[in-house]
Structure 1
Amino acid sequence: MSSATEEKKRASSSRDVNTPANAPFGGRLLLDESAVFEQNAWDHATWGEEQEQHARDQIERQSKDPVPEELKETYHTEAADYWNKFYAKNENKFFKDRHWLRIEFPELFQMIEKDAGEKNVMEIGCGAGNTMFPLLIESKNPKLFVYACDFSSTAVDVVKSNAEYDPNRGKAFVWDLAGDDIPPEVEPESMDVLVLIFVISALHPDKWEQAMNNLYKLLKPGGLIVFRDYGRYDMAQLRFKKNRLLSDNFYVRGDGTRVYFFDSNEIVKLFGSKFTIEQNAVDRRLIVNRLRKVKMYRVWLQGKFRKPLAGQEPGAPAATTVETTGDAREGQEAGEDAEVAMVDTVLSLETPLDSPATSGTATPAETLS
């Protein structure tokens, strides 16, 4: 009898990182290595020392051939231009609505209940509006208003061109999360939920502190940030070739967009100074291509951070760091098909950095998630 389990998960599989690995959480568990190619993806993927050493060796190799100094400043000062080119080329073709949000972040969907009352949600780094539109389409709350902003003016144009865009129910605008202040379109302390999905990783580390200040100003006391981003030693990080490293764990893709790969301790330091950490999670997944016999390890971080009420202190309460290793998507079949397609995509991402504007050599955000 195979150790593979074909049951489709309908719930998040989160656990405290101190919980034993054999705890009863998760769905697609690889108990027999010989069964690895019987499914497209496996949860709770663990690494041995050999894999850890391989990852360290890859990072060391990258550090010997970083981005030339004369090009680094260009990637930082022209970051918006590179994202505009990305969205002009791809519009909304790369992205799919995030149906998994309901499972991973049920607090977000409390905003759309019929009797929820006046609620404001803001999708920061909205791209094509992949959170905004599912919320508005499903909402039964006539008093829900969804804001969507992006660093890229082209992305905002994509959102506004969507047939579901309704200025009476939402507003899209250009805003730099790391800018000097919150956007004029939004009142201070007016947001109930802020959505940050593959956003902080696109910022220069020097800009993180200002980004946290702006997030704090936007949220109501008691308001929530939901977060997902790239984790340290993710496959996408280890596959970068020479002339891609900008600084420690910070890279430029072939299309000129930037990406940082976090570890959980950095997330605690980043958010813990201002917010209460309700979740600090790691999603480790082994994705396989059964035809090519290729194995790839993905690592993402996920979190929930709440602005303290008056008189409360920020930080991490006891037992809030968890490991989430489920696919956590409704319609698991479609999710697994996307994972297999992703493997084929990543295998082609090794074009040299001949030009900072080279397109299609690496894929941001959700094309690989």
Structure 2
Amino acid sequence: MHKQWSISVLKRASAFIRFSVRLKSTNARPAAPLGSRILTNPEDVFKHNMWDHVQWTEEDQEAARQKAEENSSIRLPSTEQDKFDTDASQYWDQFYEVHQDKFFKDRRWLFLEFPELLPSSAEKRRTNACLSHQVAADPVSGSSHTDGETGHCRHNDPIQHRRKTDTFFPQENAPVEPNETVTRTSFFPGGHASFRILEVGCGVGNSVFPIVNTIKNTDSFLYCCDFSPRAIQLVKDHPDYDEAVCHAFVHDICVEAASFPFPPQSLDVILAVFVLSSIHPQRMQRVVNQLSTYLKHGGVFLFRDYGRYDFSQLRFKKGRCISDNFYTRGDGTCVYFFTKEEVHDLFSKAGLEEIQNLEDKRLQVNRGKKVVMRRVWMQSKYRKPS
């Protein structure tokens, strides 16, 4: 089947390969958002492992839809479905016990696709946001949104007038108004930092350590969590783990009552890479809503995950489907496949504004087996309004 499909892809390549971004030079990769390896000659398809900016014909789209409809026609018995939700952490814990840190590679592409992870990029955004707010507040002085002593915009910091050494954290469940000065006495890790990142579902650190090694010697701090204790232990055991710039902790983002080790409105960036897809669709909105409360005004939520009709969705066997576009793998872990519209609804309903919402379609090539696979990923960026 794979050989037949790859041959048909080659025959029709001139019809379905398009590129959505025109570049002056195909030799230069743009800083963001996607790559620039464009297949212009179908005969070159096996020269590289990946081709970017691929669009499908209506025929391709319909064939994928039918395949997904077919493999979801027989669903997992309802009596078995709940365990994949309630026992999700156990299945992922077993996954990391088997694979340790050998399954995934470090995400070296992070800063190309998400430059917002860099403190300098955030500072530029914050400065622009402050200037726009000052003008909106008072065309002359802009004084209503600024700190009288420093002239810095205060709405981006939940703890106003805080010295850099102050690391106070409100008592659990105590409400904190945006303009309230926190004077309670619980310290929190990373409280000294001016730029804070949270990665949810960090696994064994494939995003963590590229970030940690980049933000060292800056005024930045990274939090990372996963609901697998084994994964978090592997992160902490890594030789590059540094408590001076990183705090790893076990946390289930689906549990509303579970508290984070930092206050609301204290994060500049939240990163979720291939993690929301592992959550039951009925829980996703609540999770995004809760996470968004921890973003500063002007902070960004960075998202990358599986797109609808990705190759990995179409290869599921009958009987593995739990609900529409939501499947369980053989090891008990689950995966959902998103559309652009679903992603937009998910984040906009949480009160965030769209910066970017892309459907990233590529050709992944197994040059040894002469197999071509159509990959679909979602890449999105949403901002908490200033």
Alignment TM-score, normalising by the size of structure 1 = 0.75
| 2:380 alignment partner, one of 284, 296, 303 | 303
CA distance in 2, matches of 1:198, 1:177: 14
Cα pair 1:280 1:303 within 8 Å, conserved: yes
| 1:239 alignment partner, one of 297, 309, 315 | 315
| 2:286 alignment partner, one of 182, 191, 210 | 210
Q: What amino acid is aligned across from residue 215 of structure 1 in structure 2?
A: L
Indicate yes or no: 2:249 matched with 1:173: yes
Residues 159 and 264 (structure 1 numbering): CA distance in 2 closer, same or farther, change over 3 Å? same
- Tell me which residue corresponds to 2:29: 10
Quick check: which has more Rg, 1 or 2? 2
Cα pair 1:179 1:210 within 8 Å, conserved: no
- Tell me which residue corresponds to 1:97: 106
Q: Report deviation, 1:283.
A: 1.0
CA distance in 2, matches of 1:215, 1:227: 13
CA distance in 1, matches of 2:96, 2:199: 17
**CA shift digits 1:124-168 (9 cap, x unpaired):** 100011222212212254421111101211111111111122222
Range with greater deviation from structure 2 (53-62 or 294-303): 53-62
Residues 181 and 290 (structure 1 numbering): CA distance in 2 closer, same or farther, change over 3 Å? same
Residues 124 and 77 (structure 1 numbering): CA distance in 2 closer, same or farther, change over 3 Å? same
CA distance in 2, matches of 1:181, 1:8: 50
| 1:258 alignment partner, one of 317, 334, 340 | 334
CA distance in 2, matches of 1:230, 1:294: 20
CA distance in 1, matches of 2:223, 2:363: 35
Cα pair 2:33 2:112 within 8 Å, conserved: no
User: Residues 76-87 of structure 1 correspond to what in structure 2 (within 5 A)?
Assistant: 76-87=85-96
Indicate yes or no: 2:53 matched with 1:44: yes
- Tell me which residue corresponds to 2:220: 144
CA distance in 2, matches of 1:138, 1:14: 20
Range with greater deviation from structure 2 (270-279 or 159-168): 159-168
Displaced runs of 4 or more, over 6 A? 112-117
CA distance in 1, matches of 2:222, 2:323: 35
CA RMSD of aligned residues (A): 2.6
Residues 149 and 65 (structure 1 numbering): CA distance in 2 closer, same or farther, change over 3 Å? same
**CA shift digits 1:246-303 (9 cap, x unpaired):** 0000000111000000000001110012101100011110112233221100000001
Indicate yes or no: 2:131 matched with 1:122: no
CA distance in 2, matches of 1:113, 1:272: 21
Range with greater deviation from structure 2 (38-47 or 254-263): 38-47
Secondary structure at the aligned position of 2:265 is classed as coil
Secondary structure at the aligned position of 1:156 is classed as helix
**CA shift digits 1:298-331 (9 cap, x unpaired):** 000001111112xxxxxxxxxxxxxxxxxxxxxx
- Tell me which residue corresponds to 1:351: none
Range with greater deviation from structure 2 (282-291 or 182-191): 182-191
Q: What amino acid is aligned across from residue 288 of structure 1 in structure 2?
A: V
**Structure 2 unaligned blocks of 5 or more:** 1-13, 18-24, 127-192
Q: Report deviation, 1:66.
A: 1.3
Cα pair 1:221 1:307 within 8 Å, conserved: yes
Secondary structure at the aligned position of 1:192 is classed as strand
CA distance in 2, matches of 1:14, 1:213: 25
- Tell me which residue corresponds to 1:30: 39
Q: What amino acid is aligned across from residue 280 of structure 1 in structure 2?
A: N
Q: Report deviation, 1:11.
A: 2.4
Q: Report deviation, 1:59.
A: 1.4
CA distance in 1, matches of 2:50, 2:121: 32
Q: Report deviation, 1:49.
A: 2.7
Identity across matched positions, percent: 44
**Structure 1 unaligned blocks of 5 or more:** 16-25, 310-369
Secondary structure at the aligned position of 1:173 is classed as strand
Q: What amino acid is aligned across from residue 75 of structure 1 in structure 2?
A: F
CA distance in 2, matches of 1:268, 1:184: 25
Indicate yes or no: 2:311 matched with 1:292: no
Q: Report deviation, 1:10.
A: 3.2
Indicate yes or no: 2:211 matched with 1:135: yes
How many pairs were matched up?
Answer: 297
Cα pair 1:84 1:153 within 8 Å, conserved: yes
CA distance in 2, matches of 1:13, 1:159: 28
Secondary structure at the aligned position of 1:98 is classed as coil
Q: Report deviation, 1:114.
A: 11
CA distance in 1, matches of 2:102, 2:122: 30
Secondary structure at the aligned position of 1:241 is classed as coil
Indicate yes or no: 2:61 matched with 1:59: no
Range with greater deviation from structure 2 (283-292 or 246-255): 283-292
Secondary structure at the aligned position of 1:208 is classed as helix
Q: What amino acid is aligned across from residue 329 of structure 2 in structure 1?
A: R
Q: What amino acid is aligned across from residue 361 of structure 2 in structure 1?
A: R
Higher RCO (CA < 8 A, seq sep 6+): 1
Residues 96 and 9 (structure 1 numbering): CA distance in 2 closer, same or farther, change over 3 Å? farther
Residues 158 and 14 (structure 1 numbering): CA distance in 2 closer, same or farther, change over 3 Å? closer
Alignment TM-score, normalising by the size of structure 2 = 0.72
Residues 284 and 184 (structure 1 numbering): CA distance in 2 closer, same or farther, change over 3 Å? closer
